[in-house]
Amino acid sequence: MKLAYAVLLLPTTLYAQILGADSDIDQLVAQMDTSEKYSIVNGVGWISRKQQSGYYIGNEPAVDRLGIPSIKMQDAAQGFRTTDERIIGEVTAWPCSLGVASAWDVNLMEDWGHALGKEHRAKGANMILGPSVNVHRVAKGGRNAEYLSGESPKLGEEMARSYVRGVQEEGVMAVVKHFALNNQENDRNTIDSHADERTMQEVYYPPFKAAVDEGVASFMCSYNLVNGTHSCGNEDLLVRDLKERMGFEGFVMSDWWAVNDVGYQNAGLDMDMPGDDGYFSSDNLDASDDGRIDDMVTRVLTQMKKVGLLGTDDQPAAFPNLCDIPGDCDDLFYNATATSAAHEALALSIATQSVALLKNEDDVLPISGAKTIAVVGSACDASNNISAMLKVWDLGNYYVMGGSGRVIAEDPVSIVRGLQEGAGDTITIVESTTDDLDQALAAMENADVVLTCGATTSTEGHDRASLLVDQDDFITQLVEAATIPSVVLLNTPGATVISNFSGKASAVLNMFLGGQATGTAWSNIIYGVESPSGKLPVTFPLSEEDAVEPCSSSPCTYDEKLEVGWRGLVEKDVDFPFGHGLSYTTFDYEVKSKDGLKFELNVENTGKSAGREVVQLYVTYPVAEDAPPVELKGFKKTGVLEPGQSELLEFDISPDDLRSWSTNAGDFVAVSGDFQFDFASSSRDVRVSDTVTV
């Protein structure tokens, strides 16, 4: 039986308010002694910043006396983090989160969430340290590959919901991160991000709010400062914005060693991780505001029960505890095989659907029939140095990013290997997998088409030094010298500048770091097993000067305000715009019905091959001085449409979706007037427009 909310507000806080508590949790908390309560909110398993044997990346001990299992946390960005060599090959090395988002398919994202949950649970973990949802501000951001929002709050909203739903339905708590304004890695512990309230509410908060609405168990506060105060000790951020305005009922944990002073629990922090810094010691927690400790513990236990980790005598836990730290989980952690044939197939499907076809002059792709293909360039046969990565935690490669989100692949499929395996009997492949131009030209002498590869990677802890791929000079010289059609395949961790060669290449395609199935996915696209259906979730600018640079000092002022990413480039030429991605076929759009803000749009495949289309809805606000720029307000992806086949898509926009933040009101307020609705294949390829008066 649910209890009414027990509201006991201190002068400026929520700390004695137990949000959403039920009688079982109330009774459980009442039975706990002080040391047991303190153990629930302070991590274990690390000493002097070294992870101890028998523990996960994050750990909260069990309270055996009361039947409360331990919480076991593991990263996240490309799957179950391979912190030990024994785990490699037992888990899936998935495409990066940005790659999953570039498929623009909420169902695919949810499927991935389910798979992540299953693999974490198979390894004994019951909490995943994801999703990462920060909207991209800095194109060079070192962790952009794991930030699934790309440059769009709306894309982030939809993807965050799907991820959280999928993971938590598997009995694994999700942690949305990094809250907030964690938009660069350079100087991340000291940078002070300054943004006005409207910018935060309309640009950077929506993916987090969507996770709250989906019932995410936990938030992770970030290393940086926000408007002058460290995120994890920022009462405006954690109490006013998150727990009051967003209505978050879960618990806030710190990023690892992001607590900088005592008393953060009184500013809204509920859990100190990994717990070896002493800030949540018994003496310090004794100084907590009245009722605050019970609130912290209640928040944790409520989320454990919600996802099925806690049970009662009448209703056992839906997901019984598999092991407890320390030591009892070793067999699962080191030896359990969590991946499966189904997960390998899903990883391939995601990587294939993530590919964005940026250019395809004279329909050079797909390649079929009796052809000789020259495959040239070092990135086509990218190395996977496992021993080096095991020694350096933030070392990435062209398959996976570096840092805490890294999942080392046991045997990733290189591009050239994938093309060889998919070639069949009629296609001949000639290789030159170095960046030697003379050798490449020799390989091209008797070829019908040349495929070359460009790539770069990124990592946690610092931002990219450049937006160029590592092979920029080689590719530029190659396409200039080529006398046969040239195709450039890109593996990237985010926005990339390719303008030195994109204009002269016959075709250009992009895959964000694709994990273990990289080469096979490329084979599927190049040979036309599937038509490309990915769309860019970021802009590929013409030059680095068109992108926001990481701040080199504080305060880091977000002067561009609402005009972040693609919205700040509306009046500028770009190489390839946000939302862009071609197909091997063509699609026609037609509005079939309109009822207020509800549209039914028919999408017909008018080409000669099967394919899928992503329809994007962009809304331009009424002309006013304080109107936001054009915004992505919705998107839908069709199923696979055969030639001549069509699908009816429904776009149902609520008036609430068109509101704007008022700092004076401290809330979103209605906007009235004429709105332009553009149904588009990209932010710069509008197919159908309509005007709606609100």
In CATH, what number is assigned to the domain containing residue 598? 2.60.40.10
Same domain membership, residue 655 and residue 626: yes
The C-alpha angle with vertex 353 and arms to 351 and 354, in degrees rounded to 5, equals 65
The answer, yes or no, to whether residue 11 has pLDDT greater than 50, is no
The answer to whether position 28 is within a domain reads no
Average pLDDT of the segment spanning 429-433: 97
Q: What range defines the domain where residue 367 resides? A: 341-569
Least confident of 10-14, 82-86, 560-564, 612-616: 10-14
- Predicted confidence at residue 626, as pLDDT, reads 78
Confidence bin at 10 (pLDDT 50/70/90): very low
Determine the 3-state secondary structure of 19 from DSSP: coil
Could you read off the pLDDT of 271-315 as tens digits, one per residue?
Answer: 999 999 999 999 999 999 999 999 999 999 999 999 999 987 778
Final residue before a domain boundary, out of 523, 539, 569: 569
Residue 131: asked if its preceding bond is cis (omega within 30°), the reply is: yes
Could you read off the pLDDT of 558-579 as tens digits, one per residue?
Answer: 999 999 999 999 999 999 999 9
The answer, yes or no, to whether residue 21 has pLDDT greater than 50, is no
Same domain membership, residue 440 and residue 349: yes
The answer, yes or no, to whether residue 194 has pLDDT greater than 80, is yes
Average pLDDT of the segment spanning 458-463: 97
Could you read off the pLDDT of 504-560 as tens digits, one per residue?
Answer: 999 999 999 999 999 999 999 999 999 999 999 999 999 999 999 999 999 999 999
- Predicted confidence at residue 16, as pLDDT, reads 31
Helix axis angle, 153-168 to 206-213, nearest 10°: 30
Burial class (CB in 10 A: 0-12, 13-18, 19+), 409: buried
- Predicted confidence at residue 327, as pLDDT, reads 82
Could you read off the pLDDT of 354-410 as tens digits, one per residue?
Answer: 999 999 999 999 999 889 999 999 999 999 999 999 999 999 999 999 999 999 999
Work out the mean pLDDT of the chain and round it to a whole number: 95
With tokens 């290997």, the residue in question is 417
Same domain membership, residue 565 and residue 593: no
Same domain membership, residue 524 and residue 441: yes
In CATH, what number is assigned to the domain containing residue 164? 3.20.20.300
* Nearest Cα residue to 40 out of 223, 302, 277, 244: 302
Same domain membership, residue 493 and residue 552: yes
> How far from the centroid of its chain's Cα atoms is residue 322's Cα?
28
Q: In what order do the strands lie in the sheet with 225-226?
A: 229-230, 225-226, 192-194, 556-557
Tokens read off for 629:
């720029």
Final residue before a domain boundary, out of 245, 264, 288: 288
In CATH, what number is assigned to the domain containing residue 501? 3.40.50.1700
Same domain membership, residue 125 and residue 224: yes
The answer to whether position 207 is within a domain reads yes
- Predicted confidence at residue 312, as pLDDT, reads 78
The beta strands (E) that lie in 598-642 are given as: 598-605, 614-620, 631-637
The answer to whether position 17 is within a domain reads no
| H helix or E strand, kind and range, residue 119 | helix 106-122
- Predicted confidence at residue 24, as pLDDT, reads 86
Amino acid identity, position 361: E
Could you read off the pLDDT of 217-254 as tens digits, one per residue?
Answer: 999 999 999 999 999 999 999 999 999 999 999 999 99
Q: In what order do the strands lie in the sheet with 587-595?
A: 587-595, 598-605, 646-652
- Predicted confidence at residue 23, as pLDDT, reads 77
β-pairing, 218-221 with 251-254?
Answer: parallel
The answer to whether position 8 is within a domain reads no
The answer, yes or no, to whether residue 22 has pLDDT greater than 90, is no
With tokens 């398959």, the residue in question is 399
- Predicted confidence at residue 608, as pLDDT, reads 96
Total of domains in the chain = 3
- Predicted confidence at residue 210, as pLDDT, reads 99
| φ, ψ of residue 179 in degrees (nearest 5) | -95, 115
How many angstroms separate the CA atoms of 112 and 102, rounded?
13
How many angstroms separate the CA atoms of 272 and 41, rounded?
6
Strand-pairing partners, residue 453, are 489
The answer, yes or no, to whether residue 413 has pLDDT greater than 80, is yes
Determine the 3-state secondary structure of 110 from DSSP: helix
Same domain membership, residue 453 and residue 594: no
Final residue before a domain boundary, out of 288, 321, 356: 288
The answer to whether position 332 is within a domain reads no
- Predicted confidence at residue 688, as pLDDT, reads 98
* Residues 472-475: contacts with CB under 8 Å, at least 24 apart: 472/498, 472/500, 472/501, 474/377, 474/435, 474/437, 474/440, 475/377, 475/500, 475/501, 475/505
- Predicted confidence at residue 311, as pLDDT, reads 85
Same domain membership, residue 558 and residue 443: yes
Confidence bin at 3 (pLDDT 50/70/90): very low
Tokens read off for 409:
């692949």
- DSSP-assigned letters across all residues of 643-688: TT-EEEEEEE--GGGG-EEETTTTEEE---SEEEEEEEEETTEEEE
How many angstroms separate the CA atoms of 265 and 244, rounded?
16
Amino acid identity, position 36: E
How many angstroms separate the CA atoms of 145 and 659, rounded?
30
The answer to whether position 167 is within a domain reads yes
- Predicted confidence at residue 556, as pLDDT, reads 98
Same domain membership, residue 270 and residue 201: yes
- Predicted confidence at residue 224, as pLDDT, reads 98
Determine how many CB atoms are found less than 10 A away from the CB of residue 579.
Answer: 28
Average pLDDT of the segment spanning 110-126: 99
Same domain membership, residue 682 and residue 612: yes
Contacts of residue 574, defined as CB under 8 A and 6 or more positions apart, other chains included, come to: 539, 540, 541, 542, 546
Same domain membership, residue 184 and residue 235: yes
- Predicted confidence at residue 15, as pLDDT, reads 29
Q: What share of the chain is helix, strand, coil (3-state, %, to 5)?
A: 30, 20, 50
How many angstroms separate the CA atoms of 595 and 690, rounded?
12
Confidence bin at 479 (pLDDT 50/70/90): very high
H helices of 214-355, where?
235, 282-286, 292-306, 330-335, 341-354
- Predicted confidence at residue 625, as pLDDT, reads 66
Same domain membership, residue 593 and residue 550: no
- Predicted confidence at residue 314, as pLDDT, reads 79
The answer, yes or no, to whether residue 19 has pLDDT greater than 90, is no
| φ, ψ of residue 493 in degrees (nearest 5) | -105, 10
Confidence bin at 453 (pLDDT 50/70/90): very high
Could you read off the pLDDT of 93-105 as tens digits, one per residue?
Answer: 999 999 999 999 9
How many angstroms separate the CA atoms of 240 and 234, rounded?
10
The answer to whether position 673 is within a domain reads yes
Amino acid identity, position 622: P
Q: In whole angstroms, how far apart are CA 421 and each of 356, 430, 524?
A: 22, 13, 10
Q: Is 579 left (phi over 0), alpha (psi -120 to 50) or beta?
A: left
- Report CA Rg, the chain: 25
The answer to whether position 311 is within a domain reads no
Average pLDDT of the segment spanning 593-607: 97
> How far from the centroid of its chain's Cα atoms is residue 73's Cα?
18
